[in-house]
Structure 1
Amino acid sequence: MSTPQILLALLAERPKHGYELKREHDDRLPGAKPLPYGQVYSTLQRLERDGYVTVAGVDREGGPDRTMYELTPEGAERMRAWLAGTEPPAPFVTGALFARALMTLAVGDDPRAGLERQRAAHLERMRELTRAKTASGASAAEVLAAEYALLHLDADLRWMELATRRLADLTRRSADESPA
């Protein structure tokens, strides 16, 4: 996820301060990892340094001073270019599930029991997401986030089923090839 571009997009509407940007990030990207405040402020400092945002003023209402940031024309151009772009497909397999299964094989164990436990965890999470997306009052963003996660979990489940079959075939072949 590209935090700088997301913050630029959130600033497209109007000037905002860091606390508001953090809250909007977390609200508008349901299911995403919450953005730490420190990351918001350090990203805003870099965006200001690079000329993509500028200080629009300081809000002094009811509490500590809050610096308001707004997009510069360069920031708007960068944000639009990001929105118009595409994400390259991941060139490497980096999932923890994949790594755990292969490392279980590497140490000489059979990963099928672990895959079965993971399958149960995936199915439970899929039930939770299905309930969330069909809940009364679920926003469009919440429904889309749930469906995105459901499809990824489904792909994981299909891979786990394939891996379990392949492991069973390999185990059977090894047994057939072993001298009696």
Structure 2
Amino acid sequence: MSTSHVLLGLLATGTMHGYELKRAHDERLPQARPLAFGQVYATLGRLLRDGLVASAGQERSAGPDRTAYVLTEQGRAALDQWLGTVEPPMPYVNSPLFTKVVVALLVTNVDKARDYLIAQRHAHTDRLRELTALKAAPSATVDDVVAADYAIAHLDADLRWLQTTLGRVADWHREVHS
């Protein structure tokens, strides 16, 4: 994720200060890792330096002064360019799940490898249930539902892969250890 582009996108909706940007990020991307305030302000500093945002003045409301930021024309152009660039499918399998399964097959016996895969499948199934419940909750926002749909699709793909791999454990183990 490009934090700078996310902040540019949020600023495209209107002027905000750092605290508002952090809150908007965490609300709009509910399944993403929350942004740290330090990351927000460091990113704003770089965006300001590069002319992609500008200070829109100070405001004080029962606390320290807060600098509000506004998207510049150059920032809008950078955001439009980023949004218009197609994300290429990932060329490499870069997943802790995949890596752990391969290592488990290398260093354990068939039964332990199966146990690991079954435990992982249970964890994925539990998370799938949580996300499905989140989508059905009366308080679920469109942001929640869209994020849950994305996560569910990925969990479903992982679950299908785990099931297929469970069927191949003995063959894989035999091949690796022959």
Q: What is the TM-score with the length of structure 1 in the denominator?
A: 0.91
List, as ranges, runs of 4+ consecutive aligned residues in structure 1 with deviation greater than 3 Å: 169-175
Q: Does 1:9 align with 2:9?
A: yes
Q: Which residue of 2 aligns with 1:128?
A: 130
Give 5+ residue unaligned stretches, structure 2.
Answer: none
2:3 maps to amino acid: T
2:13 maps to amino acid: E
Q: Which of structures 1 and 2 has the larger relative contact order (alpha carbons within 8 angstroms, sep 6+)?
A: 2
Equivalent pairs, count: 176
Please state how far the C-alpha of 1:171 moved relative to its aligned partner.
5.0
Are the equivalent residues in 1 in contact too, given 2:106–2:176 (CA < 8 A)?
Answer: no
- In 1: Cα distance, 2:27 partner to 2:173 partner: 48
- In 2: Cα distance, 1:40 partner to 1:174 partner: 47
Q: 1:150 aligns with which of 149, 152, 156?
A: 152
Pick closer, same or farther for the CA change 1:131–1:58 going to 2, 3 Å: same
Please state how far the C-alpha of 1:172 moved relative to its aligned partner.
6.9
Question: Deviation digits for residues 106-125 of structure 1, max 9, x if unmatched?
Answer: 32443221010000011111
Are the equivalent residues in 1 in contact too, given 2:52–2:71 (CA < 8 A)?
Answer: yes
Q: Equivalent pairs: percent with the same residue? A: 51
Q: 1:168 aligns with which of 156, 167, 170?
A: 170
Pick closer, same or farther for the CA change 1:96–1:60 going to 2, 3 Å: same
> 3-state DSSP class of the match of 2:54?
strand
- In 1: Cα distance, 2:4 partner to 2:97 partner: 29
- In 1: Cα distance, 2:59 partner to 2:127 partner: 42
- In 1: Cα distance, 2:34 partner to 2:83 partner: 21
Are the equivalent residues in 1 in contact too, given 2:106–2:173 (CA < 8 A)?
Answer: no
Give the root-mean-square deviation of aligned CA atoms: 1.8
Q: Which residue of 1 aligns with 2:72?
A: 72
Pick closer, same or farther for the CA change 1:173–1:88 going to 2, 3 Å: closer
Give 5+ residue unaligned stretches, structure 1.
Answer: none
Please state how far the C-alpha of 1:170 moved relative to its aligned partner.
4.0
Give the number of the structure whose alpha-carbon radius of gyration is greater: 1
